[in-house]
Chain A
């Protein structure tokens, strides 16, 4: 749905994304050494953590776009906020699915109500509620206003998700880069996976944003057609 002048850029971005994802998979499975305690199970970490990072970045972008919408009242910020919320939900779905798959053999339970897990689930539910609000309010101006306010309030949970493993005792592994838990041999794989997920984030955001812009264009044309009738 992107304007023609951006199509070339999207082809390049798509190609780069494909190459980086193949490289990320190679590094996660073959490039990184086998972890001593957890064995191959630890390889989930290479896609789980970047998904969490991109999810939080997307919700952060939703917060910024929501604030800008309330200040400027420009619909483009609402489109950006919506795109970021949807992309963030997708990344957090990956986090909330792969986390329990890792937890079952590591902790012998699929789920535990630890601060990190609970606040992550609450964050995901808050943005699902954000999407529901959008689908129930028909008037575009009111919908944009209400969802901007809700988006700002919902983001209050994001710092709790981020700091939960630093503030409280948590069963969830501590931040490995900060505590030195990630060996130097594993770092290249981790950084390459972050790079690949960053490209995926940009790619999805662009596609979703242009889709929303096209939907607004269709709304505008519908109003014009109604006025001409």
Chain B
């Protein structure tokens, strides 16, 4: 059971990396959707005001 500290460090580093990657993926999808929703609403507004 020697040199277990490096395994402990590796495990906790892996946990935070997995979590950070997942949170980043959610955040970037949120941003993309926010922009898409905004442009869709503007498009619909323009279309309805033309009629």
A105 & B14 in contact (Cβ 8 Å cutoff):
no
Q: Which residues of A contact B19 (CB under 8 A)?
A: 90, 94, 200
B30 & A38 in contact (Cβ 8 Å cutoff):
no
Q: Which residues of B contact A47 (CB under 8 A)?
A: 11-12, 15
Q: Which residues of B contact A38 (CB under 8 A)?
A: 1, 4
CA distance A200 to B1 in the complex (A): 32
A-contact bits for B1-41, CB 8 A (1 contact / 0 none): 10111011011101100110010001001100110110011
Residues in chain A within 8 A of chain B (CB atoms): 1, 37-41, 43-44, 47-48, 51, 90, 93-94, 97-98, 101-102, 104-106, 200, 204, 207-208, 211, 214-215, 217-218, 221-222, 224-225, 228-229
Q: Which residues of A contact B4 (CB under 8 A)?
A: 38-41, 105
Contact count band on B: 20 to 34
Find A101's partner among B7, B29, B30, B51 (CB 8 Å cutoff): B7
Q: Which residues of B contact A218 (CB under 8 A)?
A: 33, 36-37, 40
A94 & B33 in contact (Cβ 8 Å cutoff):
no
CA distance A217 to B22 in the complex (A): 23
CA distance A217 to B30 in the complex (A): 13
* Of listed B3, B8, B10, B43, residue having the most chain A CB within 10 A: B8
CA distance A153 to B5 in the complex (A): 40
Q: Which residues of B contact A101 (CB under 8 A)?
A: 7, 10-11, 14
* Chain B residue, CB-CB nearest to A99: B11
CA distance A98 to B1 in the complex (A): 17
A207 & B26 in contact (Cβ 8 Å cutoff):
yes
A-B contact pairs, 27 of them (CB 8 A): A1-B33, A37-B1, A40-B4, A40-B5, A41-B7, A41-B8, A47-B11, A48-B11, A90-B18, A93-B18, A94-B15, A94-B18, A97-B11, A101-B14, A105-B1, A200-B19, A211-B26, A211-B29, A214-B30, A218-B36, A221-B40, A221-B41, A221-B44, A225-B44, A228-B44, A228-B48, A228-B51
